[in-house]
């Protein structure tokens, strides 16, 4: 398999690949590379934190939980950022990279948030467990999560007074897209999901007395439907498979849809709604590796941060600084802006975020200093400039960068070849001219220079 195609595969299904791994895989066929990548992601490794203190405060009744609500909320607020950090660490260091990247994708599809940490963690791990599984089971699992029944008010959905929030978003955002259902379909679907609730610990409860057992007419079919029946009827619509494939295509292939490619994906997915099969089909398709699909997507803030960490492992000693950085870039992991999630694509970039993005490598990896030494400039002048930058900007982020790891991984890569490993797309003529005017002092300095180019924002 060609090296540039392996790099493309790992940029889209992960966050990049290092030279030694790239060399090993280049001796294998495309099918072998893809299969090994997916085989490594069969395992499901939940992220768990110690929640015993919260559980003790909750006790066995709503009365006990109500009495301790302030402490429960305080502990939840303290644990939430730790889940953020733990997931970023997992994204940066895992063999189950496809599952984790798919979890990232689904977290912006089945958008949900909750202020109870236990519910939030359970929901997050449900996304991970189903990320490469059966989409039908996935939708049903999401509909029964405590975080979702609270977020979209299914818990308030009762026979006497149906709440339509979940039914509406189920079709509009999760399965079909706008315009592929009627208002009456929403009303009938809402009745089918009446009685969905959870206990104090977040376990699903079906409250039979609150469920509407009358007949519902949904998509032209009539029956005594429950929530699972509504999901089944929705999945019978080929538009559901097409809608999911469109989102997968935009996220993993190209922001501009290719109707023929999406149709091919839809035909595969509609057969059994197997997510793993769909993703392997995409990764084995020749069109996935066409030049028009390589290096054409803007990295999300998380993709940018984790991608940098893949090349040069960086540890934030101050958790708040890392969360502040995510917020400044426009994406705080596990904290979506609304039920529709982040729009992505060109929306990641504006006048403020592009400035920060271009400065970020120097801020995190080089004491805020970007080496711009012109050819012929002496070392003393360079060192003086670097000391000045470190004094003025070095404390902005309290981080430790593991350049020894970088030097070890790129030991066999010459400084002139570094561009091929750092950038997903070719540097523009202007960028080439700029780089040619600089003195290639070291691989470290040159890596920072390359990361500071607009081209590094692409994957």
Per-residue pLDDT tens for 234-246?
999 999 999 999 9
Confidence of residue 219 (pLDDT cuts 50, 70, 90): very high
> Positive or negative, the Cα torsion across 179, 164, 112, 237?
negative
> Positive or negative, the Cα torsion across 446, 452, 453, 459?
positive
pLDDT for the residue numbered 441: 79
The yes-or-no verdict on residue 394 having pLDDT over 90 is no
Confidence of residue 383 (pLDDT cuts 50, 70, 90): low
Q: Which residue has the tokens 């090993």?
A: 24
The yes-or-no verdict on residue 389 having pLDDT over 70 is no
The yes-or-no verdict on residue 190 having pLDDT over 90 is yes
Helix (H) or strand (E) holding 221: strand 221-223
Q: Are strands 221-223 and 314-316 parallel, antiparallel or unpaired?
A: unpaired
> Which phi and psi (to 5°) does residue 97 adopt?
-65, -35
The domain limits of the chain are 3-39+238-293, 134-236, 301-457
How far, in Å, CA of 346 to CA of 299, rounded?
10
The yes-or-no verdict on residue 393 having pLDDT over 50 is no
Helix (H) or strand (E) holding 316: strand 314-316
Q: What is the mean pLDDT of residues 426-433?
A: 92
pLDDT for the residue numbered 386: 55
pLDDT one-digit tens code per residue, 307-354? 999 999 999 999 999 999 999 999 999 999 999 999 999 999 999 999
Among 32, 37, 41, which Cα is nearest to 1's? 32
The yes-or-no verdict on residue 379 having pLDDT over 60 is no
pLDDT for the residue numbered 387: 59
> Positive or negative, the Cα torsion across 45, 103, 16, 394?
negative
Among 298, 301, 361, 353, which Cα is nearest to 331's? 301
pLDDT for the residue numbered 370: 56
pLDDT more than 70, % of the chain = 93
Q: What is the mean pLDDT of residues 12-31?
A: 97
Q: What is the mean pLDDT of residues 49-74?
A: 95
> Positive or negative, the Cα torsion across 331, 255, 15, 386?
negative
Q: What is the mean pLDDT of residues 72-80?
A: 96
pLDDT one-digit tens code per residue, 266-297? 999 999 999 999 999 999 999 999 999 999 99
Higher-pLDDT residue of 55, 389: 55
3-state DSSP of 46-115: CCCCCCHHHHHHHCCCHHHHHHCHHHHHHHHHHHHHHHHHHHHHHHHCCCCHHHHHHHHHHHCCCCCCCC
Write down the mean pLDDT value for the chain: 94
């Amino acid at each position: 398999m060609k090296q540039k195609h392996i790099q493309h595969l790992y940029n889209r299904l992960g966050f990049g690949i290092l030279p030694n791994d790239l060399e090993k895989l280049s001796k294998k066929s495309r099918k072998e590379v893809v299969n090994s990548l997916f085989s490594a992601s069969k395992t499901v490794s939940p992220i768990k934190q110690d929640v015993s203190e919260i559980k003790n405060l909750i006790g066995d009744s709503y009365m006990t939980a109500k009495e301790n609500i302030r402490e429960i909320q305080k502990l939840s607020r303290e644990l939430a950022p730790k889940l953020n950090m733990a997931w970023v660490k997992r994204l940066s260091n895992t063999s189950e990279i496809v599952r984790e990247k798919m979890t990232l994708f689904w977290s912006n599809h089945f958008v949900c948030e909750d202020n109870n940490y236990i519910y939030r963690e359970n929901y997050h791990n449900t996304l991970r467990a189903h990320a490469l599984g059966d989409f039908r089971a996935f939708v049903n699992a999401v509909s029964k999560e405590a975080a979702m029944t609270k977020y979209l008010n299914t818990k308030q959905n009762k026979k006497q007074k149906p709440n339509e929030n979940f039914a509406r978003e189920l079709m509009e955002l999760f399965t079909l897209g706008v315009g592929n259902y009627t208002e009456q379909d929403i009303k009938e679907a809402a009745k089918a999901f009446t009685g969905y609730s959870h206990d104090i610990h977040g376990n699903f409860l079906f409250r039979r007395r609150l469920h509407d057992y009358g007949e519902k007419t949904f998509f032209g079919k009539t029956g005594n439907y429950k929530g699972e029946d509504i999901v089944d009827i929705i999945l019978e619509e080929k538009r559901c498979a097409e809608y999911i494939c469109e989102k997968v295509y935009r996220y993993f292939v190209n922001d501009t849809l290719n109707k023929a490619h999406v149709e091919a994906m839809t035909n595969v997915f509609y057969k059994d709604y197997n997510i793993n099969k769909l993703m392997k089909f995409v990764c084995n398709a020749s069109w996935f590796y066409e030049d028009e699909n390589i290096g054409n997507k803007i990295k999300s803030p998380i993709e940018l941060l984790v991608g940098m960490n893949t090349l040069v492992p960086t540890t934030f000693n101050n958790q708040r600084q890392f969360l502040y950085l995510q917020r400044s870039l426009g994406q705080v992991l596990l904290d979506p802006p609304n039920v529709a999630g982040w729009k992505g694509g060109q929306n990641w970039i504006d006048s403020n975020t592009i400035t920060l993005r271009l400065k970020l490598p120097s801020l995190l990896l080089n004491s805020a200093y970007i080496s711009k030494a012109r050819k012929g400039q002496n070392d003393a002048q360079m060192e003086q400039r670097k000391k000045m930058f470190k004094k003025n900007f070095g404390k902005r982020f309290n981080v430790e960068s593991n350049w020894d790891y970088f030097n070890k991984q790129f030991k066999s890569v010459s400084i002139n070849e570094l561009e091929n490993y750092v950038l997903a797309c070719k540097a523009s003529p202007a960028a080439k001219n700029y780089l040619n005017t600089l003195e290639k002092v070291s691989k470290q300095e040159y890596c920072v220079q390359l990361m500071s180019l607009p081209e590094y924002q692409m994957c």
